[in-house]
Chain A
Amino acid sequence: MKPQPTPETAPYWEAARAGELRVQRCLDCGRHYFYPRPACRFCASENVEWTGVSGRARLVSYVINHRPFPGFESVSPVIAVVELDEGPRLMTNIVGIEPIPENLPLDMRLTVAFEERSGAVLPVFEPEEAAT
């Protein structure tokens, strides 16, 4: 289940491969947005830039999947939505913890990490205190 970038999303995936989380920011309304597209999702401006973000986020919601899709048996079963401090929300996996509800209070602080899976490098998130 490897993501297939489009010309509009390729910078996101190239940054991930380099260990960096980059999203787009609108130079007119000032807001960061996701997923990548050439015009701002809030104000439709085409005056946008790619920018690195802090990689800090909070846990918005999740499931702990007990029935992994074929090929996903060895990755984190925590399928989560996180909100970056800069605003955008991403689907991701929470790594670096035992996947039980007690370890996953909503709004917990997270930080980005990167995992290589079947040839793609994916941004994932781990608890802030686990990060070095």
Chain B
Amino acid sequence: MSGGMHGGGVAIVGAAETEEIGVLPSTSMIELHAQAARRALKDAGLTLADVDGVATAGPSPIEVAHHLGIAPRWLDGTNVGGCSFLIHVRHAAAAIAAGAADVVLITHGESGRSRVGAPGYSMGASSPSGQFEMPYGAIMPYSTFTVPALRFLHDRGMGREDLAQVVVAQREWAAKNPRAMRRDTVTVEEVLDASMIAYPFTKDMCCVVTDGGGALVLTSRERAADLPAGSRAVYLLGSGESSETPAVSQMDDLGTSAAFRRAGAEAFATAGVGHGDIDHLMCYDAFAHLPLYMLEDLGFTGYGESGAFIAEGHTRPGGALPMNTNGGGLCYTHTGMYGMFAIQEAVRQLRGEADAQVPGAQLSFVQGVGIFFAAGASLVLAGREP
């Protein structure tokens, strides 16, 4: 094929989530991958026989390929947590541009709530986290990923109300999503008064825990044009990936993520677009502080301005920068590795097929995070061939 990995040379031609999302005790983890894969291929108008590349995180791509009956010539098992699927898109684009794969299938499936056919939740007791964080109870995401938040808020003169405003704004989007787990609109006071999970985080500030899956099919611009659904293709304009530290206590500054900053800057640079060009934003929100970090680290707002930006309604329906329009991990779904669902919503928006459609959305920015603040990844996606 011609062209590079960015700039629209590679397209997402198939995208689908599992038929149901939420509580699925009769479906195992691997079958959530498989069901999503079949649906995404159908969406693309392709078959398993067309697929020559497989990427996933969680189970190995070997397991997914074998389960589906694919004989791959390209594999990517990059697993850096919930943003892995953004990185798979980036890696798949590089592989397709280099001729190492023609049609790449990226799958996610996680029985995060029902734990059917799911691996145990463990990290080695000799790892940096296992030695220096977990012995203090910093084990579950709600008691570890959340630890930096008070520093972020304190340094900026912000407070818990700013965390609550993130939830209030996203519930307005979730109310429009019939698949969302938490669909009731709420006030700041109600969010602050919800049961405490790990101060300063109440239950509403923590993501839902669900079962579900999603899959993507990528191919070259040229092949996309020949597909029956070619007009629904979504193009990769730019991307970035980075990591900082496996232990939140070892971040350079608890108030900012170096991984978000590096990945985001590279995505903007490779896409050749600016913040004002972005119509739609997905910020991986396992907890309510993450959209605040991301708005600032990506440069959508200035330092200390993220809370007011959300409170003023800019990210809500009708706002200038619609954000987390599926309701996000906080309200829609969070299987454990939410990144796939952030990409799915961006694709729906750019195709004009979202439940809470942003009128005329042409350019979407997707920001992911992985293993607490360990990793970050960013995509710039376009609804039209550039």
Q: Which residues of B contact A4 (CB under 8 A)?
A: 124-126, 130-131
Given contacts A4-B124, A5-B131, contact A92 B136 (CB under 8 A): yes
Residues of A within 8 A of B (CB): 1-6, 9, 13, 34-35, 60-69, 72, 75, 77, 79-81, 89-93, 101, 106, 117, 120, 122, 124
Interface size class of B (residues with CB under 8 A): 35 or more
Which residue of chain B has its CB nearest to the CB of A93?
Answer: B136
Q: Which residues of B contact A69 (CB under 8 A)?
A: 137, 139-140, 143
Identify which of A79, A89, A117 contacts B250 (C-beta below 8 A). A89
B228 interfacial contact with A, CB 8 Å: no
Chain B facing A: main interface SS: mixed
Identify which of B131, B140, B196, B248 contacts A3 (C-beta below 8 A). B131
Given contacts A1-B135, A81-B248, A122-B136, 17 further A-B contacts (CB under 8 A): A2-B125, A3-B126, A35-B128, A61-B150, A62-B147, A63-B150, A64-B199, A65-B137, A67-B143, A69-B143, A79-B143, A81-B147, A81-B254, A92-B136, A106-B151, A106-B154, A117-B135
Residues of B within 8 A of A (CB): 124-126, 128, 130-140, 142-144, 146-151, 154, 195-201, 247-250, 254
Which residue of chain B has its CB nearest to the CB of A67?
Answer: B197
Q: How many Å lie between the Cα of A61 and that of B249 in the bound state?
A: 9
Taking a contact as CB atoms under 8 Å apart, the answer to whether A65 and B143 are in contact is yes
Given contacts A4-B131, A61-B148, A63-B147, contact A81 B199 (CB under 8 A): no
Q: Which residues of B contact A2 (CB under 8 A)?
A: 125, 135
Identify which of A6, A80, A117, A122 contacts B147 (C-beta below 8 A). A80
Q: How many Å lie between the Cα of A90 and that of B249 in the bound state?
A: 6
Query: Which of A1, A9, A69 gathers the greatest number of chain B CB atoms within 10 Å?
Result: A1
**9 A-B pairs whose Cβ atoms sit less than 8 Å apart in the complex:** A3-B130, A3-B131, A35-B247, A63-B150, A66-B195, A66-B199, A68-B137, A79-B137, A91-B247
